[in-house]
């Protein structure tokens, strides 16, 4: 009897209990970058606005330091996960938490 190989994936979930991602800050940054017009920005769903956090060279930090502000981190994480056939998603609730989930396949079946 032949055995069936199942898809195996690694899931990494990182959650904090911090302030969450400020959607209004991302909306302002999206408008500043010309991604959306002032008229359109208010009708864009929060989930779509959150996705811009994965853009290259995007940072909402007001000052760069060793941990933030250079616009490389989340973009690099998503690019590497996608190169491995995986995904990265983010979920947030302002004032409560941010959860980053990375799913990377370890085998193909």
Task: Tell whether 27 is covered by a domain.
Answer: yes
In a domain, 1, yes or no: no
**Residue 98 belongs to a domain:** yes
Give me the pLDDT at residue 30, please.
Answer: 84
Q: What is the mean pLDDT of residues 42-65?
A: 82
Q: What is the pLDDT of residue 69?
A: 64
Per the structure, the complete domain to which residue 20 belongs is given by 9-105
Among the listed residues 47, 13, 8, 53, the one whose alpha carbon sits nearest the alpha carbon of residue 30: 53
- C-alpha distances in angstroms, 56 versus 17, 59, 72, 89? 26, 9, 6, 16
Q: Domain tally for the chain? A: 1
Asked whether residue 87 is assigned to any structural domain, the reply reads yes
13 is a domain residue:
yes
Q: Give the predicted TM-score (pTM) of the model.
A: 0.74
pLDDT at residue 22 tops 70: yes
If DSSP codes are grouped into helix, strand and coil, which group holds residue 61?
Answer: coil
20 Cβ contact list (under 8 Å, min separation 6): 92, 93, 94, 95, 96, 97, 98
| Average confidence (pLDDT) over 53-66 | 76
Q: How many residues does the chain have?
A: 109
Q: Cβ distance 8 to 106 under 8 Å?
A: yes
| Residue 88 within a domain | yes
2 domain-assigned: no
CATH number of the domain that 21 lies in? 3.30.565.10
In a domain, 4, yes or no: no
Q: Is-contact 86 100, C-beta < 8 A?
A: no
Q: Encoding tokens for residue 38?
A: 């002032």
pLDDT of 85 reads: 94
């Amino acid at each position: 009897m032949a055995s069936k190989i199942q898809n195996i994936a690694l899931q990494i979930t990182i959650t904090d209990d911090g302030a969450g991602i400020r959607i209004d800050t991302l909306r302002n940054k999206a408008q500043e970058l010309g991604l959306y017009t002032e008229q359109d920005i208010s009708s864009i769903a929060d989930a779509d606005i959150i996705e811009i956090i994965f853009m290259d060279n995007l940072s909402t930090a007001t000052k760069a330091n060793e941990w933030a502000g250079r616009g490389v981190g989340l973009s690099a994480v998503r690019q590497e996960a996608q190169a491995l056939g995986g995904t990265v998603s983010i979920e947030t609730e302002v004032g409560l938490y941010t959860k980053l989930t990375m799913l990377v396949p370890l085998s193909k079946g």
